Amino acid sequence: MYFYKLTIYVLLFFFLNISGFAQLSKVEKKLVKLIDEENDTAISLLKEVVNINSGTMNFKGVREVGQVFIEKFEALGMEAYWQDGSAFNRSGHVVAKIEGGTGKKIMMIGHLDTVFEKDSPNQEWIPLEGNMVKGPGVADMKGGNVIILQTLTALHKQGLLSKLNITVVLTGDEEKSGRPLDLSKKALVDAAKWADIALGFENGDGNPSTAVVARRSSSDWILNVSGKASHSSQIFKPQVGAGAINEASRILHQFYEQLSSEKYLTFNPGVIVGGTTITHDTNLNSGTAFGKDNVVSKELSVAGDIRCISVEQLQKTQKAMKTIVANHLPQTNATITFSGGYPPFSLTDSNYELLEKFSQVSQDLGFGKVNPVDPGDAGAADISFTSEYIDMGLDGLGLGGSHGHTIDETGDLSTLPMQTKRAAVLIYRLTKD
């Protein structure tokens, strides 16, 4: 009985793949074959770069990984170079370009850095059972970088790459962005202004049956509150008022009451320091407070973030927060300031259209339908900086895996050729449209 069931499953899988492949053109079938032939090479390259520590602040390691990819892109006939990051206090970025035709202009996005610095215990490639491997950045996102390269390699070997318009940007500071952001993200913005379509090869939610059509923004706010210090027995009297802590409590409660139910909007007061005297260093994410239970609080500071699905939602939220802050309790004052961060990768019909094209490619390859990740579950990423300029975009096209940003980060090597085939056929079809 077991053999009978196993035979049925094998035949069904074979039938689905054959029926899917029947939808592929001759060129697309050749791309699939080339990717399978290069898969061992791709795995070897992934192992090589995973074993190079490239924690964001290890500038030498980030550049070393970047140089590996520069040489590979140059071998494909692309113009590839290192963009120094000293102006924004980071290692830098890799940019690779080829312009060979009048078709769609496509940018492909990856990042070289990981969250695992040189003092992390997670430093090397460790094979696990089956197709799984453990290692720093294997899924987030050195696997995605290899998928980009292998996609372009297959197109090159088919004689197609030289006829396409492609720009690749592999940033060196995705996990810990350099400042100022306008310099840190300039390579992405410049490429986006040139491009029609952006494809991001982050690992998304780690599930290759999904892709990311939208990401929420990520920006910061600081609330500073002052009150009138006095003996606690005098609180609420006209000459003393409510105190800084009560004023901050009012503001934060009204933020929650008025804004917490809005779809895709979140705001989080992550740090609060209050008392008679305080220090609050937002760069170090730390502070101190001195106060007594019988003294009305004089100073308070809150640091938080906002995440929104669109620029319009962000602007509306900031306006509402300012209005709430301005309605002071007696003898108190408060100000809120907002700082720039990652913009939203906006939810658009054209992004869904691109997802449909990608999903059709996946089905034609026999890999099944691809569904959108809930934007509420998708954090900010480098592709967000392209949203203002491109016609359509899609992210989460990288290697399958799990436990990202932990020492147990793993990648599923069986998804490497699958994701590469999807990307190669998608790009071929997009440039033919």
- The answer to whether the Cα torsion of 234, 235, 240, 243 is positive or negative is positive
Q: Please choose, from the candidates 386, 16, 395, 410, the residue with its C-alpha nearest in 3D space to the C-alpha of residue 210.
A: 395
pLDDT, position 257: 98
pLDDT of residue 21: 63
pTM score of the predicted model: 0.88
Give the model's pLDDT for residue 205: 87
Same structural domain for residues 306 and 335? yes
Return the DSSP state at 329.
Answer: P
On whether both 173 and 247 belong to a single domain, the answer is: no
> What Rg value do the Cα atoms of the chain yield, rounded?
25
Same domain as 367, residue 292: no
Asked whether residue 127 falls in the same domain as residue 211, the answer is yes
Supply the pLDDT for residue 5: 39
Parent domain of 54: 2-215+345-432
Residues 6+ apart with CB under 8 A from 49: 65, 68, 69, 142, 145, 146
Q: Which of 342, 360, 391 is the last residue of a domain?
A: 342
Selection from 62, 56, 141 nearest residue 379 by Cα: 141
Residues 363, 416 within the same domain: yes
Shared domain check, 262 and 211: no
Cα 230 from Cα 234, distance rounded (Å): 7
In a shared domain, residues 320 and 175 = no
Distance CA 202, CA 151 (A): 15
Q: Which long-range contacts (CB under 8 A, 24 or more apart) does 13-16 make?
A: 16/366
* Nearest by Cα to 110 from 173, 184, 46: 173
Pair 197, 227 in one domain: no
Looking at 342, 373, 394, the residue that finishes a domain is 342
How many domains is the chain partitioned into structurally?
Answer: 2
Residues 290 and 413 in one domain: no
Beta strand spans in 371-414 (E): 371-372, 392-394, 401-402, 410-412
Mean pLDDT by 10 residues, the chain (433 residues): 39 47 90 98 98 98 98 98 98 97 94 97 96 97 98 97 97 95 97 98 92 95 98 97 98 98 96 97 89 97 96 96 98 96 94 98 98 90 96 97 95 98 98 84
SS3 198: strand
Judge if 187 and 233 occupy the same domain.
no
* CATH number of the CATH domain containing 273: 3.30.70.360
The verdict on 229 and 375 lying in the same domain is no
pLDDT at 101: 82
Question: In the chain, what is the greatest distance between 2 CA atoms, to the nearest angstrom?
Answer: 87
Taking a C-beta distance cutoff of 8 angstroms, is the pair 110, 399 a contact? Answer: no
Residues 177 and 76 in one domain: yes
pLDDT of residue 432: 85
Residue after which a domain boundary falls, among 296, 322, 342: 342
Q: How far apart are the first and last CA of the chain?
A: 49
